């Protein structure tokens, strides 16, 4: 896979994550219940874990995903490193949130789990993008 394809994949996945997080941020500030297939979205969205230091975790996710998208637009090794670092951080935080849904809340949010799946796909691709070297480049 080429560096360009990896960069595009990271950007597209981060945009998908931003879309999900954006929707959850909108419903949070709008006070409306998210459309939900599991019946747990509103419970999760209104739980004490839905905010971190008074900031909705959906908004934090939105900002993180948009930051990752930004790294794909900058052609510099530090941008790749920042994008990969943020993607792995998002994955770790989403793993924590999935644990909270399973063990503390006892309900699942369709949107949240979708976001967690996106981050599980995004992180290894972002790492591959960061580690990518041209075939003819010295190791």
Q: What per-residue confidence (pLDDT) applies to 39?
A: 84
Of 100, 113, 91, nearest to 49 (Cα)?
A: 100
SS3 55: strand
Q: What per-residue confidence (pLDDT) applies to 139?
A: 59
For the question of whether the overall pTM of this predicted structure is more than 0.85, the answer is yes
Query: Average pLDDT by consecutive 10-residue portion of the chain (139 residues)?
Result: 94 98 95 87 90 94 98 93 97 96 94 96 97 74
CB-based contact 71:79 (threshold 8 Å): yes
Strands 51-52 and 55-56: antiparallel
- All domains in the chain, ordered by first residue: 3-131 (1.20.1440.130)
Of 47, 24, 51, 129, nearest to 86 (Cα)?
A: 129
Residue 5 falls in which region: left (phi positive, over 0), alpha (psi -120 to 50) or beta? alpha
Element (H, E) at 51: strand 51-52
Q: What per-residue confidence (pLDDT) applies to 13?
A: 98
- Distance from CA of residue 112 to its chain's centroid? 10
Q: What per-residue confidence (pLDDT) applies to 7?
A: 96
Q: What per-residue confidence (pLDDT) applies to 109?
A: 93
């Amino acid at each position: 896979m080429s560096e360009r394809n990896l960069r595009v994949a990271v950007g597209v996945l981060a945009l998908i994550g931003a879309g999900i997080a954006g929707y959850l941020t909108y419903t949070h500030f709008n006070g409306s219940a998210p459309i939900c297939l599991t019946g747990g979205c509103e419970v999760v969205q209104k739980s004490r874990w839905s905010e971190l230091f008074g900031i909705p975790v959906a908004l934090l996710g939105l900002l993180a995903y948009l930051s990752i998208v930004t790294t794909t637009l900058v052609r510099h090794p530090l941008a790749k490193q920042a994008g990969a670092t943020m993607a792995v951080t998002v994955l770790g935080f989403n793993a924590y949130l999935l644990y909270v849904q399973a063990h503390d809340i006892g309900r699942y949010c369709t949107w949240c789990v979708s976001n967690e799946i996106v981050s599980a796909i995004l992180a290894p691709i972002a790492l591959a993008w960061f580690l990518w070297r041209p075939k003819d480049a010295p190791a």
